[in-house]
Structure 1
Amino acid sequence: MIGELRVGQVLRYPSSQDPQQPTLDGYPNFYHVTHSPGLKKALLTSGINGMAEVDTPDGVRRPAILIRSSPWKAGTEQTPWHDVFDLDNGHVRYFGDNKPGLSIAPDSTTGNSTLLGTLTAHQGRTPEQRAGAAPLLLFRAVSRNGKTKGFVEFCGIGIIERAERLVQWGGSDHSTFVNYVYDIALLDLTAENDVVAWKWVHARRDGNLSHAETLELAPETWRKWVKQGSSALPALRRRVARAKVTKAPAQRPEPGSTSAKDLELVYRYFDGRKHDFEALAAAVAAHVLRGAGHAYHDGWLTRRSGDGGADFVGRLDLGRGLAGTSLVVLGQAKCVKPDTLISAEQIARVVARLRRGWIGVYVTTGAYSESAQTEMAEDQYPIVLVNGAELVRRLRSMARDDHGGDLTACIDHVLSSQQISVTSRRPEEILLE
């Protein structure tokens, strides 16, 4: 049985190189997972481990290149560089294998020669040129059971985006030497549940199979890259932030449900009443922030024109006295049809106003596009997004607590008793109250 590699999985890398045992010391056995019956073992003995090329009906093909980084060696005389593995954003910066004291050209070392040759294929201009390109399987050494050796973490499959020739310091005499550093894009494996099936690599090692036949076993993003080329990498790159994205239907109440009727009621009530909806949004934002156990102080609504990307202002108090601080809360309200998607550009208007120590709140009767959510998560913007489903859930909670479950009475009460003033004050003035 041919195994599989899961991103983030730690494997035992034993010195025995025995593939028979599925697990060792409670961890999957690297040699068992990567075993290809009748073929040589996959190895991580060097930093850059190119599998032997095979002759195929489409020409020579290298099945894969296994990359290993040893963070515990970084900064030593033997390994003076520091590789960067940013798995959340799908980027690896990996240094080549030239070292101080070697007398050969930096592009002639075994590893650099292999990766530079692969770079040419990774930059192929046609699908036919890219189809035979070798995938990079990336690993990094990790410590387990008090040991710094014998364990590796699988980090995914990569494509070389660029190579840079640079001068480094190293060796016992701290002399300079020339080496290469590679920027590698890690591909998104969401469609495969973050798993790479070894049968794909195994098939690439079979000289009887064409590139097209092996491509059928490849991860979805690898197939798309072969078809579309490097211009598609931004959309194919691994982004952990995508896991935080909520699909639009999940941001709306179930069609025909009571919540869906509530949302329609709210939309019709405030359609064409922008400023009234801003007051409601401010009350909902306060409910959201106070519900998280924070002390929230109501501020004011901005004037109808010239709000500069903010509809209401509040203050979030954390701690007390010297052990506390306060944050300006800048809010945006948008009453739109429930099937409307709020774009990244619309949210960016609020984000552009935020200063250090400020947070944003966006309240809408619609939903947020996937691209907007991804951008907010990847750039780590301090903004709270309240969609249509969450809006009516909060209103229902407020109505249940104070108005016997009457949603309309709750809304009328919020508007009639709203003590928030309308002003053109600067947001930072809230910190003085």
Structure 2
Amino acid sequence: MTLFRKLSRSPAVWVAPLFWFFVWDLASSEKRFADPYYGVSTTGAALYPIFAIVSVSAACGAWEGGRLRRGQVWQSSPVRQRIIVAVDALGPVFLVGFLSLAVSCLATTGNLANIFDTGSLVMLLFAAVLISLYALIGFAIGCLIPSFIAVPVSLIGSYLWMGIPGSLEIMWLRHLTGQLTDIPGIGQRISYEALLAPVLLTASLALSILVLIALRTRMHFRVTISILIAFSGIGGSYSIVSDWGPQTPLEKEKLTGVCIKDNGILSCLPREYSSHLPIFEETAHQVVEDLQVFGIARPDKVEYEILSSESDGVTWKVFSYPGQPTEEMISEISRGAFSLDGNCEIDRAGDGARKSAIYAWLALTAGADSQYIGYLYEPEAVSIAQNIRSLSTPEQTEWYTAQISHYAHCSAS
């Protein structure tokens, strides 16, 4: 049968255009939670519609299996190997499933070139394997029972399995479905174990069903092997996720920094944010100049907070991103002048208010708008900072020195 004939006879192709609109809408709704400059993040958002893609793939696979069942192909004298027949029948289903994944990626990235990094490709491979396994399970069900039962069972069963565990209190169960519950931010990736667990479970179930219907041996032997495979997969996948919480585990991904050096200050951002570097460098230089008047040490480097580059001099760790409003950028860069490590005590009386006042004063001194700062910090902290700003430069410097002396045990700049 020619490829055109196969495609024209497959229900997967019939439903594809309408289904792709649905996938596009789902992925687009998730796009706002992803970092548009980080491929792993946009790919994570693109995997959100996986519950719909695998459900439709399973239903279409069941239809193809039912078609072969009605034609009594498995009872006929074999001309080709059974696996060849199955793959040939499932070809259009695989094609539509993979194209649905591509549509989802286009909806979140706008450019498929953005997904060709290691983290993204691993996630896409995971999704492609999951789509194939669900199509195979649906196909096996279609070979066992009539299509009018197999198709809705495969569609609804897959949909419920992907959706219901996420609403249950059994935390580990949701991690076996393949429906990820978190989107990586910049400098993060989905844990490879989180991708392995659902694939291991689904593959074991698919293989157990295939053993049950395809092996030409005694029924009790087939049932025994099938049960062993299924329970091995269930046990193995459970051992991976048994102690996990509600969120998909994320791991750190090393970022490559790009830098500009001007007037002795090195300004660095992740490579993904390189388009933002010129305005970031210009703003950082201005903030440093404004704060230096009040005796705040000039840094050797101002860099994005999770970059792990080494420096012998003073480094300000800051948060910035492309499209960041100027007032926010000024505020975030100024915070870098007073950075504390994770061992700093923050539960003493008045400690939180003191830090807020310091941060508000730094931002106002660096040129941030007072109205914007009022949105960031408590009114009392902003009022203190504004009152201090009305003092002379030596008095402000004395106040700042006195305030940061309370954090001498911390790594304050």
Question: TM-score normalised to the size of structure 2?
Answer: 0.30
Of Structure 1 and Structure 2, which has the larger fraction of its residues in strand? 1
TM-score by length of 1: 0.29
